[in-house]
Structure 1
Amino acid sequence: MQQQLWGSAAVAVMVALASGFGEHRRRRRRDVDRIGFMPWTLLQVLAMLAAVILASLALNLR
């Protein structure tokens, strides 16, 4: 069970990193009029929150 929580926390961190990269690309786009529909910042915050919660649960199972 603890291994699954750590694995899920690692996946959540990877999603947060990918969301940060997406936000970086959105900010540095050449055509300002081409807006995107993906809320990268919200996804990043939610993924980091999930990672913290999952890591906390994994630590409490010890």
Structure 2
Amino acid sequence: LTYGEKKKSLDVLKKITNANVSLGLPQWLINEIKLDLVEQKNPVQPDFILILYNYENKNSSNKN
């Protein structure tokens, strides 16, 4: 969203969250944002979007 302009802030966020960084948005989020922006006159654009996902549970089964 800042296209690399706020590198120091991004580095801090990456270190704190141990995140993977993408300089673009996933298509599903672009589509959702477009729908939300239709009715807004002066939308606010965030510097970063943090998408949380638990990779540990991705391949686990619910067997107890």
What TM-score range do you get, normalising by the shorter chain?
under 0.3
Q: TM-score, normalised by structure 1?
A: 0.25
Larger Rg: 2
> Where is the helix percentage greater, Structure 1 or Structure 2?
1
The structure, 1 or 2, with the larger RCO (C-alpha pairs under 8 Å, 6+ apart) is 1
Q: TM-score, normalised by structure 2?
A: 0.25
